[in-house]
């Protein structure tokens, strides 16, 4: 395993972070425990979850993923060996059964305390805002279009104050953002620069993969210059970058078949790009999935690559990507495809 330091801390995390959003829906508690056991055995010490999980979000399954992780901690007694990240859900239609109040001090505090209880722990190492409260471009929206009905008032100072208080109480250790834009990221960073008592934003969890490299436009420079580590999610583009959907194949248990609303990486242009990446991997004697994951691992702004799986076979294969080194000819081939079909799936 390769390890990186979480920016502005002395905490070392595995370059491979174990994602958890299928646990409690596509995966049982027993299967999730098996995944965690295997990952730790391979040197993974970084888990990512959220109060919203499992996905798709549903009131009957609310926060079951956190409960599963909590039962694993209780069974193994190894909480101190894991760097644990979780998230508070923002205001959105899909999460209105959780709360409709947004990131008020009461909401943040209640969310943290609920997560701590479910996770059976006294602290969360990295606490993240799952997505912005304001109307902006995230979750597959490529560009920003101003919404005149958005009455969001800038409350970032207040949000950071609440998170600071929770840090002082020992309930969380560090703060991150997710699904953020360059403007939002700099807004959080500038608040800390002006008010030194507020916590520094140390990570950003955004999508990043061969089909979606929009992070490189604006955010990558911020990440490098300001030392905000990217926790890259969807590195396989909902599984499309495994090549398992090429030729009209539709695996019955795959997410894009079970939940057709997750079609971000299934458009015509995305399929064209996937076919080219698949050809490149085949010519280089590589697994397409491992090539896609290894590419993410090469990026200088990536602190951790969040991988998930619904089977142990998938998990073993994806985890092994940490040992895959891409030669210059492979990297050049990837850039040639990217330049021909840039960012086909935002």
Distance CA 47, CA 139 (A): 22
The answer to whether 127 and 112 are in contact (CB under 8 A) is yes
| 53: annotated active-site residue | yes
What phi, psi does 90 have (nearest 5°)? Answer: -90, -175
**Helix residue ranges per DSSP H, 77-200:** 105-119, 156-168, 182-194
In terms of phi and psi (left: phi > 0; alpha: psi -120 to 50; beta: otherwise), the region of 345 is beta
- Taken in order 187, 193, 194, 200, the sign of the CA dihedral is positive
How many angstroms separate the CA atoms of 177 and 308, rounded? 20
How many Å separate Cα 27 from the centre of its chain? 18
Structural contact between residues 285 and 247, judged by C-beta atoms closer than 8 angstroms: no
> Residue 311 carries which DSSP code?
S
Q: Which of 38, 53, 123, 127 is catalytic?
A: 53
Q: How far apart are CA 304 and CA 84, in angstroms?
A: 13
What is the C-alpha radius of gyration for the chain, rounded to an integer number of angstroms?
A: 19
Catalytic residue positions, numbered: 53
């Amino acid at each position: 395993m390769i390890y990186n330091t979480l920016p502005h801390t002395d905490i070392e995390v595995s370059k491979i972070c174990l994602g958890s959003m299928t646990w409690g829906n596509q995966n049982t508690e027993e299967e999730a425990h098996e995944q965690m056991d295997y990952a730790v055995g391979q040197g993974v010490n970084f888990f990512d979850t959220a109060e919203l999980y499992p996905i798709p979000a549903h009131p009957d399954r609310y926060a079951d993923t956190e409960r599963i992780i909590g039962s694993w901690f209780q069974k193994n007694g190894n909480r101190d060996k894991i760097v644990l990240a979780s998230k508070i859900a923002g205001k959105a239609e899909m999460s209105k059964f959780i709360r409709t109040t947004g990131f008020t001090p009461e909401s943040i505090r209640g969310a943290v305390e609920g997560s701590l209880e479910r996770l059976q722990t006294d602290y969360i190492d990295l606490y993240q805002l799952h997505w912005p409260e304001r109307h902006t471009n995230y979750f597959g929206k490529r560009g920003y279009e101003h919404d005149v009905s958005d009455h969001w008032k800038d409350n970032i100072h207040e949000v950071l104050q609440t998170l600071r208080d929770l840090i002082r109480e020992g309930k969380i250790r560090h703060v991150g953002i997710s699904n953020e834009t360059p403007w939002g990221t700099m807004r959080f960073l500038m608040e800390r620069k002006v008010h030194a008592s507020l916590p520094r934003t140390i990570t950003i969890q955004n999508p990043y993969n061969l089909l979606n490299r929009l992070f490189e436009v604006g955010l990558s420079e911020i990440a490098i210059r300001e030392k905000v580590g990217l926790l890259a999610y969807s590195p396989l583009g909902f599984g499309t970058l495994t090549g398992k959907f090429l030729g009209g194949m539709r695996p019955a248990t795959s997410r894009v078949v079970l939940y057709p609303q997750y079609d971000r990486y299934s458009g015509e242009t995305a399929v064209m790009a996937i076919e080219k990446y698949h050809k490149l991997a085949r010519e280089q004697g590589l697994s397409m999935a491992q090539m896609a994951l290894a590419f993410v691992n090469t990026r200088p702004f990536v602190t951790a690559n969040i991988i998930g799986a619904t089977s142990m076979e998938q998990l073993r294969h994806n985890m092994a990507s940490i040992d895959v080194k891409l030669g210059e000819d492979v990297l050049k081939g990837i850039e040639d495809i990217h330049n021909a079909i840039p960012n086909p799936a935002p």
